[in-house]
Amino acid sequence: MITLVALRRLLAGNNPYKYISEYESKRGMNFFTDIRDWLGGYPYQSVSDQELQLFMGNQGFSLVSKKNTEPCRGLLGTACGEWVFRKN
């Protein structure tokens, strides 16, 4: 997994050593611990933006903001969607 992260950084024109060495100060978590935790999340089930908003609306919540909710493809580069809801 670490090799894939490094390769992705290299192909994007970035320095993988710098990314790993600065990771903790930027993300607040050790790079190697984060990789292990990330792998431990598989398998998982995704939800679409519309499905989540409908579900939360039915629970009495309204959307406040959202980020990274558009579908995308890519190995180690799909990011995580973020939604903020408020109870009505």
- Express each pLDDT in 66-88 by its tens digit: 998 877 666 555 667 889 999 99
Measure the CA–CA gap between 10 and 8, rounded to whole angstroms: 5
Burial of 69 (0-12, 13-18, 19+ CB in 10 A): middle
Convert the pLDDT of each residue in 16-60 to its tens digit: 999 999 999 988 889 988 887 777 666 666 788 999 999 999 999
Domain boundaries of the chain, sorted by first residue: 1-44, 46-88
When computed from its CA atoms, the radius of gyration of the chain, rounded to whole angstroms, is 16
- The one-letter code for the residue type at 25 is S
